[in-house]
Chains A and B, each alone.
Chain A
Amino acid sequence: EAGVTQSPTHLIKTRGQQATLRCSPISGHTSVYWYQQALGLGLQFLLWYDEGEERNRGNFPPRFSGRQFPNYSSELNVNALELEDSALYLCASSQKNIQYFGAGTRLSVL
């Protein structure tokens, strides 16, 4: 069974650009969670989607947004990129409250 997959693995952008990150959950999982992990820091909760709806949002500005598609895959969009957005972005899907993470997208903003 395939795990959570994220693409791209690495993404390099310049300040002010927009970034789109993608996540495919484990088959059968309907919830997708997005986290930001800045270098050496913990997991900062960004967004939670379930059954196509945004269920909860972390303390991030509105330029962080996303959506979940009918097949439960998800996109995270970051507009007007700032240098401090450079981080590892992790996606997780869940079953019975346990979260299974993808390998992440490392976003570098220059």
Chain B
Amino acid sequence: GQQVMQIPQYQHVQEGEDFTTYCNSSTTLSNIQWYKQRPGGHPVFLIQLVKSGEVKKQKRLTFQFGEAKKNSSLHITATQTTDVGTYFCAGPEAGNNRKLIWGLGTSLAVNP
């Protein structure tokens, strides 16, 4: 079945270092979404990418959607302790745009 895979599963960085998580889909996606879940919290929508090759920035976060619309990445520049959490990517199920297929997430720990 359709799968969305994320790597790495875990990442520990020193505060100030950069961080990147990658998301790969087994199928072409019409869009990809990113969510963040803080420890003890619930997933919160960050951004949606729709166009092939699209790049969007939110302050220190840069999101990219691949040319083939099968992969995506989230890059955080100069991590801060507030970036701690699990980052999930999700894409619509093929033929059912209203159901999302989720990656397992990348858990980010930041050492101050």
Contact = CB atoms under 8 A, between A and B. Distances in A.
Interface string A81-103: 00000000010101001111111
Contact of B88 (A42, A103, A104): A42
A43 B37 CA distance: 11
Given A41-B104, A42-B88, A42-B103, A98 B45 contact: yes
A104 B39 CA distance: 13
A29 to B, nearest CB: 12
A97 B42 contact: no
Interface string B57-80: 000000000000000000000000
B99 interface: yes
A31 interface: yes
B102 A101 contact: no
A50 interface: yes
Interface residues of A, number: 21
B33 interface: yes
Contact of A99 (B41, B97, B100, B105): B100
B98 A50 contact: yes
28 contacts: A31-B98, A33-B99, A41-B104, A42-B88, A42-B103, A42-B104, A42-B105, A43-B43, A45-B99, A45-B102, A48-B99, A50-B98, A55-B98, A55-B99, A90-B43, A92-B43, A97-B31, A97-B98, A99-B35, A99-B45, A99-B90, A101-B42, A101-B43, A101-B44, A102-B42, A103-B41, A103-B42, A104-B42
Interface of A: 31, 33, 41-43, 45, 48, 50, 55-56, 90, 92, 94, 97-104
